[in-house]
Amino acid sequence: MFYTYILKSLKDGKQYTGLTRDLRKRFLQHNNGESTYTKGHGPFKLIYYEACLDEDDARSRELYLKSGMGKRYVKNRLKRFLSLTG
């Protein structure tokens, strides 16, 4: 399985979208400051993920979720959750 995921920084509220084969390990790496792009922005909360059987499908989803339409999709999908967490 390949996972496309979205993290929300509890420090600055920013969201980060990524792709991994091992979601638990990657989440720990982000929270331990072992990721270049998110270092210094943790701790993080995992707010969304999707599982794909194929890496190309997961990469396509990652690119979509990073686009304007994808961000709107996630916002609408998580509307209640995001309003509760600010």
pLDDT value, residue 79: 80
pLDDT at residue number 78? 87
pLDDT level of residue 53 (50, 70, 90 thresholds): very high
Share of residues in the chain with pLDDT > 90 (%): 81
Domains in the chain, number: 1
Cα 75 to the center of its chain, rounded Å? 13
Return the number of other C-beta atoms located less than 10 Å from residue 7's C-beta: 25
* pTM to 2 decimal places: 0.88
Residue reference for tokens 């701790």:
43
Query: In sequence order, which residues have a C-beta less than 8 Å from that of residue 78 and are 6 or more positions away?
Result: 47, 48
CATH number of the domain that residue 27 is part of: 3.40.1440
Q: In the predicted model, is pLDDT for residue 42 greater than 60? A: yes
* 4-29 per-position pLDDT tens digit: 999 999 999 999 999 999 999 999 99
- Look up the domain containing 21 and give its range: 2-85
